[in-house]
Structure 1
Amino acid sequence: MSIHHSSQAGTIPPKEPGRRWRTRPTHRWTRRSVWVTGWVIAAGWAGFFPLFSDQATHRTWGLCAAVAYLCAAGAACLLPRPRAAELSVGLALTGAVVLPFVYLALTGQAQGEVEVIERAGTLLLHHGTPYLAHPRTVMDYTPYLPGMALFGMPRALLGDHSAAARLFGDARLWCAVALLLSLHAGRVVLRGHGSRAGDRAGSGGAGRREPSSYAIGVVVLTASPVIAMPLCVSGIDMPLIGLCCLGLALAARRRPVAAGLALAAACSLKWTALPAIAVAVVLLARDAGARAAVRGAVTSLAATVALVLPCALVSPSAMVQQVLAFPTGRGDLPTPAGSPMPGQLLAGTGTFGWYLTTALLLCGGLVVSVWLVLRPPAGAVAAADRLAAGLCTAFLLAPAGRFGYFALPVVLVLWSRRADPAHNTAARPATRPVALAARARSRPTTIPTHD
């Protein structure tokens, strides 16, 4: 005879014939090798600039960062495992961000954009407009919207008479602060939205380890060449990146007014942020309804107009010439943004080429818009992917552009995946022991006995 018992929690289920259990898969790539490989690639990227760049700021950053990345690779390879990753990240952050930034700021070395922003801050403070009435050289142009001038005001207020004034008046410092504060605020918003799901996910304290994982991910992203180089040499895109991330996070949290205000602040810096409004509105329409989407759209557009209109009324002609015509290659002087991308190369063939690349840009924007409407994003990660795809299309096909512009889509894709606990929970597969225990609890076993 036999007696049927329901297996209890912790009972080892019977082994199925012909099946082997593997508790730990074999990986050819260990975590240590991934760290070492990543830092070596970053060192190669940074080492390109001292050899081939014609800008002193790029050469200075590249030399310092290449040494830092090699030291980080050595630390990740040789140090004991529990602290190898943290120490390598600290070395990379110090050598690729902190040291070159402080040196360049104290010596007054920067790309021309920094000088333009700081002059715009002085003009806005004293004349109510950041634009020169009659620009004569490329450096006289301010191809940014009025909000960017706010990051140049510390220089106008502090001057450069001392080391402290040169450091704390540098526009790059406040651009970096805006980036980090915006990313932190976006993380807080998303964590509040998905913290319960994250707390329920996994076992053995996985939810408690996740904030540390996020912090390390953000530090690695900041120390990587994607952020470290533009932050040290120019910094103008840092606030735009942070505000776009924050705006999408607020839209995913179903806060249309706050999302609209964040994206309006981004749009007051550069026209590049305008596609983020469309993505946020579609995200709100899907998750919170048409009413919330309308509120977000009206808030963002009205706030953008309120931030830009005063300067447009003071100097309308200068603003059109410097913000619209000059960056697209239709101004009196050629734009210095000349990275060899398809749109730039095509526009350089002449007037017909410029119109052709503009038509391709519009077609690319239409394709991305149709994709956005037919496949509306669900959550911050999907919204960031849609926005990144649209921006990459625009940067590739624009008549003028730089490789540095791609920092925005890269950060959108990487940061959103680290910051959204709901995405991390959904992407984390169940471990084999948990799955086997669940199946054992739901299946009865037969234990033969003999009289």
Structure 2
Amino acid sequence: MVSTRTPGQPRSRGRLTGRRSTQAHPATATAVPGGRARAASRPGGRRGSRDFPRQRGDDPGPGGRPEPLGPARLAAMRRVQLLGCAVAAVWAAAFPVVSDLANQRLWGTVAAPAYLLAGLLCATLPRRLAARAAAAVALLGAVLLPLALLALQGRHQSEVMVVERSARLLLGTGSPYLTHPVVVSDYNPYLPAMAVFGLPRTLLGNAGPLTQVLGDARIWFALTFLGCLLACWRLLRPTRDRGPVLPLAVLTASPLIALALVVGGVDLPLIGVCCLAMALAERDRTVATGLVLALACSLKWTAWPALPVAVLLIWRLYGRRPAVRAGLTAVGAALAVVLPVALAEPAVLREQVVRFPLGLTAIHTPAGSPLPGKVLAGFGPTGHTVSLALLTMGGAAVAIWLLARPPVSAIAAADLLAAGLAIAFTLAPAGRFGYLALPAVLVIWPRLAAHRWTARRPVPCLLSLPLGPPESVRAGA
């Protein structure tokens, strides 16, 4: 008996009749007159094929209702672009007025006119040119120009100095931490792998303008962030006809990323690595997922919630063995980085990496925003205890959610991780608004890459697969 099932084709429960089935999932087939089904997209990606409609009402969804606009289509609307530029300009213009940090004031002074000019280009240029021109102007004015000004002057937030100093300490003493911190800037709240981003400054120095810029840790924070998001896009994209350059430029030029990149940027590698880990987990790249998670878990403690989320995603999609392999790879590689320092200086690691961010040391972290956890901690020991209790309860609620409804796609996993991190940053005693960029990008970028809103995985179209026996088999019969 000759098998007629093609590789990758699911087994049919009914009898093969040699005719194509007229039933398809609503997401992958649309009705046409005559009662037959038409595939909305085919493997190989002909021009115009999408897993979201080209225009509102082009393809009816279940029950004949129009499908909602996809993320890319919504972002291409002129009104959305104008609104985004206006909000960004107002946000940037507020910093010279309300901020007491010179670097943030400089960024707002340079970025606000750039956002206004970008909005003007969106309103006046033809649609096919407006988005690209506006993104280029915003990227130049909100990121490249202020970053160059600050880098050439050697100005940055204290965390950049902490990372660059940790690299010097790591090469000189074998530990990235000062043994006896005296002032706030002596504390290093990051795990040992973060010191890698300070190595260019240690190796290149700051003798001239070129080495002053290339040795800046912010450059390497940004490059890691961009590289991870590009790889995430390549893994999640449904077709090959949309490039990531414009969406990535818009995201980077937005105040959400631009301000952090220009003045500090220490959280950007963590954002990119977490997005990449979820995309690799959906694509069953178990060893790569484990290694990327190990990098995240050896940068900051806040990345550790990504480990169970990614492992459960692999478990749900591909089974227990791949999930265990990814988890063991991640834990083993992370411990190989963290454990030597933890065994050599356990008290120092606990004091600077755990107690200092939680506000339990004699010197408190200056990081703070009027978030609930910070406000509660301001009421003294009782408020600090209440803040930690609420943080624990929020973490337990997210853990229950994770076990009750494990993620089935990279979007669902990123949403769940974003919810947990948003709760943690909101209720932490030393939380600040800048930390919320991580959950925001986790929600936004996988959807842009996958070109869909829903967290459910799209059902592949089976109409393009030959369900009947090949011609040679029918001729031989």
Q: Name the TM-score class by shorter chain.
A: 0.7 to 0.9
Instruction: Report whether the alignment pairs 1:61 with 2:61.
Output: no
Q: Which residue of 1 aligns with 2:221?
A: 175
Give, in angstroms, the shift of residue 185 of structure 1.
Answer: 1.8
What is the one-letter code of the residue matched to 2:445?
A: W
Instruction: Report whether the alignment pairs 1:250 with 2:296.
Output: no
Any conservation in 2 of the 1:250–1:258 contact (CA below 8 Å)?
yes
Q: Which residue of 2 aligns with 1:277?
A: 307
Give, in angstroms, the shift of residue 417 of structure 1.
Answer: 0.5
Instruction: Report whether the alignment pairs 1:264 with 2:294.
Output: yes
Give, in angstroms, the shift of residue 381 of structure 1.
Answer: 0.6
C-alpha distance in 2, partners of 1:332/1:144? 18
Summarize deviations over 1:58-77 as a string: whole Å, max 9, x none: 00111111011001001111
Any conservation in 2 of the 1:380–1:420 contact (CA below 8 Å)?
no
Give, in angstroms, the shift of residue 114 of structure 1.
Answer: 0.6
| Aligned counterpart for 2:435 among listed residues 405, 408, 431 | 405
What is the one-letter code of the residue matched to 1:175?
A: F
C-alpha distance in 2, partners of 1:337/1:13? 62
Q: 1:13 to 1:292 in 2, by over 3 A?
A: closer
Give, in angstroms, the shift of residue 118 of structure 1.
Answer: 0.7
Any conservation in 2 of the 1:152–1:171 contact (CA below 8 Å)?
yes
Q: Which residue of 2 aligns with 1:435?
A: none
Q: Which residue of 1 aligns with 2:116?
A: 70
C-alpha distance in 1, partners of 2:302/2:143? 25
What is the one-letter code of the residue matched to 1:314?
A: A
Instruction: Report whether the alignment pairs 1:235 with 2:265.
Output: yes
Give, in angstroms, the shift of residue 266 of structure 1.
Answer: 0.7
| Aligned counterpart for 2:353 among listed residues 323, 335, 340 | 323
Give, in angstroms, the shift of residue 31 of structure 1.
Answer: 2.1
Summarize deviations over 1:99-133 as a string: whole Å, max 9, x none: 11111100111011111111111111111111011
Secondary structure, counterpart of 2:305 in structure 1 = helix
Any conservation in 2 of the 1:117–1:171 contact (CA below 8 Å)?
yes
C-alpha distance in 2, partners of 1:228/1:357? 30
Q: Which residue of 2 aligns with 1:190?
A: 236
Q: Which residue of 2 aligns with 1:50?
A: 96
- What TM-score comes out, normalization by structure 2 length? 0.79
Structure 2: gaps (5+ residues)? 1-31, 35-56, 60-65, 459-477
Secondary structure, counterpart of 2:293 in structure 1 = helix
Q: Which residue of 1 aligns with 2:192?
A: 146
Q: Which residue of 2 aligns with 1:7?
A: none
Summarize deviations over 1:313-362 as a string: whole Å, max 9, x none: 33222111111111100012011112111111112212222222111111
What is the one-letter code of the residue matched to 1:36?
A: L
C-alpha distance in 1, partners of 2:354/2:127? 53
Give, in angstroms, the shift of residue 424 of structure 1.
Answer: 8.3
Summarize deviations over 1:339-394 as a string: whole Å, max 9, x none: 11111111221222222211111111111111111111111111110000010011
C-alpha distance in 2, partners of 1:425/1:143? 34
C-alpha distance in 2, partners of 1:242/1:271? 15
Q: Which residue of 2 aligns with 1:96?
A: 142
Instruction: Report whether the alignment pairs 1:394 with 2:440.
Output: no
Q: 1:79 to 1:281 in 2, by over 3 A?
A: same
More RCO (CA 8 Å, sep 6+) = 1
1:348-359 matches, within 5 Å, as 348-359=378-389
Summarize deviations over 1:9-29 as a string: whole Å, max 9, x none: xxx969xxxxxxx8799x9x9
Summarize deviations over 1:214-255 as a string: whole Å, max 9, x none: 432121111100111101100100111111111111111112
C-alpha distance in 2, partners of 1:304/1:23? 49
Structure number having the greater helix percentage: 1
What is the one-letter code of the residue matched to 1:391?
A: L
C-alpha distance in 2, partners of 1:186/1:175? 17
Secondary structure, counterpart of 1:257 in structure 2 = helix
Any conservation in 1 of the 2:412–2:455 contact (CA below 8 Å)?
no
Q: Which residue of 2 aligns with 1:217?
A: 247
Number of aligned positions between the proteins: 392
Q: Which residue of 1 aligns with 2:129?
A: 83
Q: Which residue of 1 aligns with 2:336?
A: 306
Instruction: Report whether the alignment pairs 1:366 with 2:396.
Output: yes
Instruction: Report whether the alignment pairs 1:414 with 2:460.
Output: no
C-alpha distance in 2, partners of 1:369/1:312? 27
1:130-145 matches, within 5 Å, as 130-145=176-191
Q: Which residue of 1 aligns with 2:5?
A: none
What is the one-letter code of the residue matched to 1:403?
A: F
Aligned-residue RMSD, C-alpha: 2.2
Q: Which residue of 1 aligns with 2:78?
A: 32
Give, in angstroms, the shift of residue 80 of structure 1.
Answer: 2.4
